């Protein structure tokens, strides 16, 4: 794989890099994407499973679906794409990882500076008193658990359609997008807002924006480059290319 000289040079010179990831980076780990061929939204209705009203209407159905996704995520491992980003974080002084994924795989791969825009499936909280619970045994429950403190319904700490993103995480993501020299959009269809707006903020602030995806996305029409391929293959090669001594330099 030959990366463009511009991409390698921009990454080498960069004092600040921001990466936005989506479900595609976890596809090679075995976590289904949402809108891909076998995507979750091809099999399940987001309006029945990923919004608050649906949860109130049928909490057991929604709970069981997230318990199924949690069990799936516990069976898989981070892939070389996740590890490559954890390594880039070590190499670059100002590196920010923003993810739409709730699967916790970036953290399991060793990334530290992560901003989760859509929450994290490993956390749950009471919709009444907001007490957080992170008890794995919850997964075995077939019905939506109740809060031990107030009896309120326990929900997964993920952002459902129509809900606001966590303000702190989004503010950090905005600040990283507007100060970065290079912005990588990895494994996301770039159609869900406001997460998808970050790349355009980076563009407006003069960043070099690159899409990494086996397919072109909406962002590809605006980005400086689209590197077609799987994140688990492209990202390790990119890290390797950065490690290689530039020609002519000792």
Scan residues 143-182 and list those touching ligand APR (CB under 6 A).
none
Residue sitting closest to ligand APR (CB):
24
Cβ proximity to ligand APR: between 30 and 246 the closer is 30
Decide: is 192 part of the binding site for ligand APR (CB under 6 A). yes
Contacts within 8 Å (CB) and 24+ apart, 87-94 = 87/239, 88/17, 88/19, 88/235, 88/239, 88/242, 89/113, 91/239, 91/242, 92/14, 92/16, 92/17, 93/15, 93/16, 94/15, 94/16, 94/17, 94/179, 94/180
**Least distance (Å) from ligand APR to the CB of residue 230?**
4
Decide: is 185 part of the binding site for ligand APR (CB under 6 A). no
Cβ proximity to ligand APR: between 179 and 200 the closer is 200
**Least distance (Å) from ligand APR to the CB of residue 129?**
26
**Least distance (Å) from ligand APR to the CB of residue 249?**
31
Decide: is 80 part of the binding site for ligand APR (CB under 6 A). no
Scan residues 13-42 and list those touching ligand APR (CB under 6 A).
22-25, 27-28, 33-36, 39
**Least distance (Å) from ligand APR to the CB of residue 137?**
26
Structure tokens at 88: 């880039």
**Least distance (Å) from ligand APR to the CB of residue 193?**
10
Nearest to 214 by CA among 229, 193, 232, 231: 229
d(C-alpha 26, C-alpha 77), whole Å: 9
Cβ proximity to ligand APR: between 10 and 69 the closer is 69
Nearest to 76 by CA among 132, 25, 134: 25
Active site residue 205: no
Per annotation, catalytic residue among 82, 118, 222, 240: 118
Choose, by CB under 6 A, the member of 60, 163, 204, 215 that binds ligand APR.
215
Catalytically annotated residues: 118
- For binding to ligand APR (CB under 6 A), which residues are involved? 22-25, 27-28, 33-36, 39, 100, 118, 187-189, 192, 213-215, 217, 230-232
């Amino acid at each position: 794989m030959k990366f463009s000289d511009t991409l390698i040079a921009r990454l080498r010179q960069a004092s600040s890099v921001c990466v936005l990831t989506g479900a595609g980076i976890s596809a090679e780990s075995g976590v289904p994407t949402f809108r891909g061929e076998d995507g979750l939204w091809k099999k399940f209705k987001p309006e029945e499973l990923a919004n608050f009203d649906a949860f109130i209407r049928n909490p057991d159905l929604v709970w069981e679906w997230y318990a199924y996704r949690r069990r799936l995520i516990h069976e898989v491992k981070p892939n070389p794409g996740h590890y490559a980003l954890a390594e880039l974080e070590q190499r670059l002084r100002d590196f920010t990882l923003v993810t739409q994924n709730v699967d916790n795989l970036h953290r399991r791969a060793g990334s530290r500076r992560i901003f989760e825009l859509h929450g994290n499936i490993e956390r749950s909280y009471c919709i009444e008193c907001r007490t957080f619970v992170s008890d794995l045994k919850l997964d075995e429950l077939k019905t939506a658990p109740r809060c031990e403190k107030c009896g309120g319904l326990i929900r997964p700490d993920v952002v459902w359609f129509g809900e606001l993103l966590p303000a702190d995480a989004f503010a950090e993501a905005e600040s990283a997008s507007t100060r970065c020299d290079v912005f990588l959009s990895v494994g996301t269809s770039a159609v869900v807002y406001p997460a998808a707006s970050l790349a355009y903020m980076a563009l407006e602030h003069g960043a070099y924006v690159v899409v990494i995806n086996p397919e072109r996305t909406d962002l590809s029409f605006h980005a400086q480059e689209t590197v077609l391929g799987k994140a688990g293959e492209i990202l390790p090669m990119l890290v390797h290319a950065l490690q290689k001594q530039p020609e002519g330099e000792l």
